[in-house]
Amino acid sequence: MNQPVSQPDDADLGLLAPVWAGTAVARRTSDRALAQDLLDVERTWLQVCSTAGLVDLGAEGVGGRGDAGGDGADGAGGAGGAAGAGSPWDASAYDLVSIAQRSAGGGNPLIPLLGDLRSALRAAGLDAASRGVHLGATSQDIIDTALMVMAHEVVELLLADLDRALAALATLAERHRDTPCIARSLGQHALPTTFGLRVAQWRAGLLAATHGLRRVGGSLPLQWGGAAGTLAGLELRTAPAGLDAFALSDDLAQRLGLAASLPWHTRRQTVTGLGFALADVVAAAGKIATDIAFATRPEVGELVEPSAPGRGGSSAMPHKRNPVLSIMIRSAALDAPAQVATLLTAAGLADHERPDGAWHAEWPSLRALLRLAGGVTPKLAELCSGLAVDETALRRNLEHSGAAVVTERIMAVVAPLVPATEGRTGKAAVQAAVDESLSGGTDLATALRALVPASALDDAALDDLLQPTRYLGLAPQLTDRLLSQENS
């Protein structure tokens, strides 16, 4: 039996969230990672202020990783990246359970963390750093900026997975460019199509979502405005020193890898835009997973998910092979819209210059969206890379409805050739023939042969007309165009 692992009683380990539990994004969005981002932003701002001469740290410097003068530009560097173990800037040095509990006192986790940081700096002999930290900033500056740093790194992880999924889908679409299958409309057999076109459409949707995420992720902004978004606290200190407050905030943005920006305390489109982009990726993946989950049903049998040890089994029914990757992706697609709704509601209720509750409501929903997308993208990449296609089943299902799946073509070609009799049009006659064949009467070929003279449509032409694989439209060409346009 495995030895027990010590965990805080109230830690969220993802037991009820298998879609993201254990992923790289789960680690990058943990409470400890967030605390490290908060510390990294504070430390980097102290470096900016020291470099500008706004804070005199003397020989002690900022403290932490080999920083003697406090003017290094190493920046945040992600969770745990800005300081060594045991440093006041290392999140592992803090009791995060206590900080979380004390955060209720001021309504956010930065307030108790900052108090503990100042105490830790003094204990380490970094008195000047303790006095200079958080200069001219407010809690929202640090928290919003830390979340943007976190999101920026998460987006990079997502894009790597999405690129793998897109490449796999392109290969699959090209391989099955000419593979016939049945198109389904409103859950019913519709017309013949190709599996390659279906996959190309999956890819086109995913690529559009990827472009949106890449665009948003590449322009995530710094938040820096002070207590009421006026930069008054910073200007109070920079003006006497002849310094430009905007230049300092721009320097901070550059060091953190964020876009320079004016304060956006109650303009929450940055957050809603990020939420939309994440949810769009999840939705595009959900569409793919929905189609795949359906096609893996035994009575359909067109697709098989990639296998892995311990995946897809049933505790009660050993014969089952559940499409677990698709199931988890679909669960995320069902969850994400509610999280976006919270972000939108919070943005609409962000009153005056500092929201009274709306800002706070964003945090769990934004992190949930980061985690959902971070759980979906690696699973989607694996799903698309290892998807097995049963061409025999595709053909069997295409042939299931017989010539009925080409009735659109039959109506267009045959109806004009049927002589009108007793007020019944050729279209009505063809419809009656189709209805009779569907009800188990005369087969469609025989019924049509009785309607149309051989002089107008010979047997070979009629037989060709009834072949599903002869009515693929421009499916192969559409596949080519989708792939070439999106690749360019």
Q: Is 183 helix (H, G, I), strand (E, B) or coil?
A: strand
Closest CA to 211 of 170, 164, 163: 163
More confident residue, 424 or 388: 388
Count Cα neighbours of 435 within 13 Å in the Cβ-side half-sphere: 6
Mean pLDDT of 96-120: 96
Q: Is the pLDDT of residue 145 over 60?
A: yes
User: What pLDDT shows up at residue 422?
Assistant: 67
Which has the closest alpha carbon to 214: 272, 144, 156? 156
- Does the CA dihedral 13-19-23-28 come out positive or negative? negative
Condensed to tens digits (0 to 9), the pLDDT of residues 146-169 reads 999 999 999 999 999 999 999 999
Contact 124, 344 (CB under 8 A): no
Q: Spot the catalytic one: 119, 219, 307, 314.
A: 314
Please identify which of the residues 122, 354, 395, 449 carries the catalytic annotation.
354
Residue 313: the pLDDT is 57
As given in the structure block, the two tokens for residue 225 are: 């405005």
Asked if pLDDT for residue 304 goes beyond 50, the answer is yes
- Give the class (CATH, top level) of 24-137: mainly alpha
Whether residue 179 has pLDDT greater than 90: yes
Every domain of the chain and the residues it spans = 24-137, 141-221+264-397, 401-476
When mean pLDDT is compared across 176-180, 274-278, 301-305, 423-427, the lowest value belongs to 423-427
Mean pLDDT of 370-390: 98
pLDDT at 74 over 70: no
Quick one: which H or E segment has residue 173? helix 139-175
Q: Is the pTM of this model over 0.95?
A: no
Residues in contact with 334: Cβ distance below 8 Å, sequence separation at least 6, in sequence order: 286
Active site residue 401: no
Task: Note if 385 is an active site residue.
Answer: no
- Residue 358 parent element (H or E): helix 358-386
Which of the four pLDDT bands, split at 50, 70 and 90, describes residue 29? very high
Superfamily of domain 141-221+264-397, CATH level 4: Fumarase/aspartase (Central domain) (1.20.200.10)
Amino acid at 470: R
> In the predicted model, is pLDDT for residue 73 greater than 90?
no
pLDDT value at residue 11? 75
Q: What is the pLDDT of residues 224-275, one digit of tens each?
A: 999 999 999 999 999 999 999 999 999 999 999 999 999 999 999 999 999 9
